[in-house]
Amino acid sequence: MPIAKSEYLSEVWKDGLFADRVVFCTGGNGSICSAQVRALVHLGANACIVGRNPEKTKTVAQDIATARPGSKVLGIGDIDVRDPERLQSAIDRCVQELGGIDFLIAGAAGNFLAPMSQLSINAFKTVLEIDTVGSFNVTKLAMPHLLSSVKKHTSGPPSGRIIYVSATMHYTGAPLQTHVTVAKAGVDALAVNVAIEYGPYGITSNVISPGPIKDTEGTRRLSAKPRSDNKRIPLGRSGTVKEIADATVYLFSDAANYVNGVVMPVDGGAWRVGGGNPGRDFEYPDFILSGEKVNIKAAERKPKTGNSKL
C-alpha cells in the first residue's frame, strides 16, 4: 500500500532529481534498503531490487512503485548474492528491461546474535560470504554497466554511483556480533578500494552506516526487547528509515559530486559512546559470563526470509 512521503523522504529534495536513472539494489526487500529505493523512485528513478524470497521481493517492488505514478520497479526473487550466476541473471534482466544501471546499492546482509563460543565456523563464514563477498560480487558484475552509464550521461542527473550499506559496530567492537563486525569491516574496505580504483573513471563509492533504526527487521531480529531509553545515543532517540534514505539521496545527487571513499555513519552519534549492548536481554558482560545461549522467541521477531539489510 502507498506510504506517505513524509515517512521515507524529506521535503528538501527536488522532484525529478533522478529522472531516467536506474538503481539496482541487493537486499532491496528489507526495511532500510526498500526505503532507500523508494526515495529514489519518488524522485524519478526506476529500480530493480533483488532478494532471496521471491514473493516478498515481488510484493515490496510493487509497493515501492506506488511512490511515483508511471515508475518501473522490478522485484527479482530467488537471488543469492553468493551465487554470481544468479546475480548476473538479475543484472542482465535489469539492463534489458530498464535500460541500464546508473546507481548501485549493495545492501544484502545476514545477522543474528551469538557469542564466539556459540558461533559455528560455518555461520561465521556464511555472514562474510553474504555481506563482504556478496558486496564484491554485485560490484564486479554491475561495474561494466556503471562505467557505461558514466560515459553515456555527460549531462543531467549524476550516474555511476555506489552505496554500500554497512554498520558502525566494528568501529569499537560489539558483543555477540563477531561475525558481523568482521564482515562489515570488509565492506568498508571494499568501498574505499573501489573509490580509489574506479574514481578515475568517474565512479563514486561511499558507505552509509546506519545506527539503531526503529521499526526495522534488524531491530526486531536482534533483540526481543530493544532498548527504549536511548541513553547511549547522543541525540537521545533511534533513527528512522527516512534518515537513511535522505543520506542516500544526498550521496547520489549533484550535492555529493566530490564525495568519494567516505564512510558516513547515520546513527545520531551512537558509535562515539561505544558499541553498547544489542538490547536489554544481553547486558555486557553479564550475559557473556553467564554462558547462556542466545534465545529470542520466534513469536517476538519476524523470521529471516533472505538477504535483506536490517
Catalytic residues: 166, 184
CA distances for 136 relative to 104, 162, 186, angstroms = 12, 12, 10
CA distances for 280 relative to 50, 96, 287, 306, 310, angstroms = 33, 48, 10, 26, 19
72 burial class (0-12, 13-18, 19+ CB within 10 angstroms)? middle
226 cis-preceded (ω within 30 degrees of 0): no
- Which has the closest alpha carbon to 70: 9, 15, 145? 15
Q: Which residues have CB under 8 Å from 294's CB, separation 6+? A: 112, 113, 114, 115, 118, 176, 282
CA distances for 244 relative to 66, 82, 126, 254, 270, angstroms = 20, 25, 26, 18, 15
The CA-based diameter of the chain, rounded to the nearest angstrom, is 60
**Residue 263, strand partner residues:** 207
Q: Cα separation of 117 and 291, whole Å?
A: 9
Residue 216 cell numbers, joined: 526495522
CA distances for 61 relative to 31, 137, 261, angstroms = 12, 22, 29
Q: Amino acid letter at 94? A: C
